[in-house]
């Protein structure tokens, strides 16, 4: 089984100068941020002190601005331009990760077909999420073949109905918004053909800068003057949930500056806010935690994998289910900030999961 990793790579050039490869520079800047000195950063990155200084000076010469401030007895600290470069790299990775992981999975499949014919795989279509990523790590560690497609929840469930995938990941809010959300998926889910595997319960809410400088307390604050919002892409389950919540409070999306923006992952939303390009976004608590943001919880939701009842008997699928039902994977989910794995791996009929589908 082949494993492919695709990472974003970017360069910066100025006028006719040779482009600057940011990969090595960013590794060094991150190490300075972590260690507080150029000498320690050079040691951590496996380069000489002289080479590290040379790299920094070349970059500063190209930008025409300093990247690091040093002082006797005070070590070294990053200046705003260096911090902006690191945040730019994190935003690039957060925005592109679903596309790159999907492309990597496609390439893995093509390589396997070319070398080994048509190997059996688990076709997984799912909205991007931290528990889904944790499951993929477990499948990869056990060398179970997966054909991954990250797509929004509605597209994933529709693909299952067309028999284009074996597992379709989607999420549904608990409480007053559940029925409306379930109704949006009901055209593709058949209680006579499909059942559900519970993945996790997670918190959704507002992500804001540390200290909440704009004093945002809830959805009505999104339309205040001077508050810039960053949104998920149209069709995503998270955006659909937000629109339901706004409608329930009679709040107009047109009054929210930035509502028509479109980021494709929770991490991309968090990175956007952490880099100072927006004040607030709507997403899961885990993303806020990983990017050092404050979080205002608004709703809890369940994440499921929809699956054909007939596929439950497949030997390869049984291995996937065994991982989902293991105590070790449940603990992995519980360790995700804002996630609850107490019901992870439970198998439910559509009627058992959603009373509105009796």
Residue 241 has a pLDDT of 95
Q: How many residues does the chain have?
A: 358
Residue 119 has a pLDDT of 67
Confidence of residue 73 (pLDDT cuts 50, 70, 90): low
Residue 20 has a pLDDT of 82
Residues 286/130, Cβ–Cβ less than 8 Å: yes
Q: Which of 126, 129, 119, 128 is nearest to 167 (CA)?
A: 126
Residue 167 has a pLDDT of 98
Q: What is the mean pLDDT of residues 124-141?
A: 93
Q: What is the mean pLDDT of residues 157-170?
A: 97
Residues 72/111, Cβ–Cβ less than 8 Å: no
Residue 330 has a pLDDT of 98
Residue written as tokens 């800047």? 29
Residue 117 above 70 pLDDT? no
Q: What is the mean pLDDT of residues 242-249?
A: 96
Residues 173/300, Cβ–Cβ less than 8 Å: yes
Token readout for 219 is 């959805």
SS3 322: helix
Residue 303 CA to residue 132 CA, distance in Å, equals 9
Residue 1 has a pLDDT of 64
Residues 287/95, Cβ–Cβ less than 8 Å: no
SS3 177: coil
Residues 294/228, Cβ–Cβ less than 8 Å: no
SS3 279: coil
- Per DSSP bridges, beta strands 146-150 and 122-126 are parallel
Q: Is CATH 3.30.70.2860 the classification given to domain 13-78? A: no
Asked if domains 13-78 and 115-357 share a fold, the reply is no
Confidence of residue 9 (pLDDT cuts 50, 70, 90): confident
Residue 216 above 90 pLDDT? yes
115-357 to CATH, choices 2.140.10.10, 3.40.50.970, 3.40.190.290, 3.50.50.60: 3.40.190.290
Residue 109 above 80 pLDDT? no
Residue 140 above 80 pLDDT? yes
Token readout for 116 is 């080994």
**All structural domains of the chain with their residue ranges:** 13-78, 115-357
Q: What is the mean pLDDT of residues 106-114?
A: 77
129 secondary structure, DSSP code: -
Confidence of residue 103 (pLDDT cuts 50, 70, 90): confident
Residue written as tokens 């299952």? 160
Residue 358 has a pLDDT of 52
Q: What is the mean pLDDT of residues 234-238?
A: 90
Q: What is the mean pLDDT of residues 145-157?
A: 92
Residue 258 has a pLDDT of 97
User: How would you class 142 by CB atoms within 10 Å of its CB: exposed for 0-12, middle for 13-18, buried for 19 or more?
Assistant: exposed
Phi-psi region of 64 (alpha: psi -120 to 50; beta: other; left: phi over 0): left
Q: What is the mean pLDDT of residues 297-314?
A: 96
């Amino acid at each position: 089984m082949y494993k492919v990793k695709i990472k974003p790579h970017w360069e910066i050039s100025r006028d006719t100068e040779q482009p600057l490869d940011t990969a090595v520079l960013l590794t060094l800047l991150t190490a300075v941020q972590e260690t507080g000195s150029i000498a320690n950063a050079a040691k951590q990155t496996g380069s000489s002190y002289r080479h590290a200084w040379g790299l920094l000076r070349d970059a500063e010469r190209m930008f025409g601005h300093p990247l690091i401030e040093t002082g006797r007895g005070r070590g070294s600290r990053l200046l705003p331009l260096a911090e902006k470069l690191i945040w730019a790299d994190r935003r690039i990775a957060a925005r592109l990760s679903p596309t790159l992981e999907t492309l990597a999975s496609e390439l893995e499949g093509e390589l396997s077909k070319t070398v080994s014919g048509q190997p059996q795989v688990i076709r997984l279509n799912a909205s991007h999420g931290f528990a889904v990523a944790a499951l993929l790590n477990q499948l990869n560690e056990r060398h179970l073949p997966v054909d991954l497609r990250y797509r929004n929840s509605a597209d994933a469930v529709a693909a299952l109905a067309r028999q284009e995938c074996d597992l379709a990941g989607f999420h549904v809010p608990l409480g007053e918004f559940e029925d409306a959300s379930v109704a949006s998926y009901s055209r593709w889910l058949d209680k006579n053909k499909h059942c559900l595997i519970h993945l996790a319960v997670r918190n959704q809410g507002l992500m804001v800068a540390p200290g909440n400088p704009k004093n945002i307390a809830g959805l009505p604050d999104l339309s205040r003057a001077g508050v810039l919002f960053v949104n998920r892409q149209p069709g995503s389950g998270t955006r659909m949930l937000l629109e339901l919540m706004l409608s329930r409070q009679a709040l107009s999306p047109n009054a929210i500056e930035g509502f028509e923006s479109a980021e494709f992952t929770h991490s991309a939303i968090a990175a956007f806010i952490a880099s100072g390009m927006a004040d607030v976004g709507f997403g899961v608590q885990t993303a806020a935690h990983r990017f050092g943001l404050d979080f205002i919880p608004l709703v809890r939701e369940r994440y499921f994998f929809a699956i054909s009842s007939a596929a439950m008997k497949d030997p390869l699928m049984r291995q996937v289910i065994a991982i989902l039902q293991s105590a070790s994977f449940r603990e992995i989910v519980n360790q995700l900030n804002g996630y609850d794995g107490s019901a992870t791996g439970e198998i439910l009929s559509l009627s058992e999961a959603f009373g509105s589908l009796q």
